Amino acid sequence: MAQCRLPSFVFEYLEGGAEDEVTLRRNRAVFEDLAFVPTTLVKAGAVDTTRTIFDQPAKLPLMIAPMGFCGLFSHRGDVSLARAASAAGIPFIQSTVSNASIEDIAAVPGLRHWMQLYVFRSRPFMERLVARALAANCEALVITTDASVFGNREWDRRNYRRATEPTFRNKVDVLLHPRWMRDVVLRGIPAFQNLLEVLPPDQQTLAASATWSRREVDPDLDWERVSWLRSLWPRKLVLKGLLAPVDVKQALGIGVDGVVLSNHGGRQLDGAISPMTVLPEIASRFGGDMTILIDSGFRRGTDIVKAIALGADGVLLGRPVLYGLAAGGEAGVRKAIDTLGEEFARALALLGRPSIAQLDPTCLYRADANRMAQYEKAERLV
């Protein structure tokens, strides 16, 4: 439904990965390598899907991941995502480059509001942005660590003549999507609202602000800078984009409360390992000391079960909720979350583990580890 509604260049932005998209495919293949080992004759009439994350209960072990350009998929897309998250009883992580301000999202009733941070070169601006998140009563600050250099997303060069101006072919394709034009183009796509104070007056359109933000993200982001941000933020601090156990250990050492194991959904370093592959080791070593979250490649409730069984405390949803947003706005996001929640609960029952607390690695069997290599070889031959 999302693909039918969106112009091709917008859908490719949603769906695409970096370079040859090896990581994008690997993120999905890893779930096929994990098979369930169900037990039967277990009372499963009452399934408990609640999970405590940072001392507060969530109805599902889920949260909406930080994503930029949500206004491309539906008018006021960020607000729709936040409202759906509030209705589902799960946290919403707002992106620095969202098309809504921190204050707009903070006004959503009953929302567990987290704020994601891209670290820009200007420290004074970072201080002001963190102060705004504090004033908005954001529960957690999530620092993205794996995007200080922008990934090589080659579909950009296919779809745009320069910067963010679509090719002639894509402009024609826009005309074939009148519903999207009415909802998004004619109503206007706002720029990155949280950056307006530092954007030059002539760069406050969406296209110009996107170009500016890519240029101003600090490529020298390091542990000293994270420690500095830790000193500014008195609440829960999460680092997103970690895959190496040595980085998780370092994060714990400087007082980070949680990590998101992530390869940015296959959109940054092509050929990177799947977070699901490193999850068991990191969860066993650090799970008792910090909150372990994960994203990249999740599409089904059964995928979420597998992550929780291997030690994750929660899963960040990206593309699945954007499909819903593009297909039906806030109602579409609610449908996507409800569908995943139903799949998750059903899988717990069928697995013979009707409570999240009963999930552990014994309910999984790892299939042939060479399957992914064989898959990639076959694809190259094709």
Rounded to the nearest 5°, which phi and psi values hold at 50?
A: -75, 150
264 is an active site residue: yes
- Which DSSP helix (H) or strand (E) runs through 260? strand 258-261
Distances (CA, A) of 6 to 81, 110, 162: 18, 31, 21
H or E element that contains 324: helix 319-351
Q: Which residues of 158-181 are buried (b: 16+ CB within 10 A; e: fewer)?
A: ebeeeebebeeebeebbeebeebe
d(CA 54, CA 112): 11
Is-contact 337 49, C-beta < 8 A? no
Nearest to 30 by CA among 263, 319, 352, 324: 263
Cα(257)–Cα(53) distance, rounded to whole angstroms? Answer: 11
Nearest to 311 by CA among 61, 63, 90: 61
Q: Which of 75, 113, 177, 264 is the catalytic position?
A: 264
N residues, the chain: 382
Catalytic residue numbers, as ranges: 264
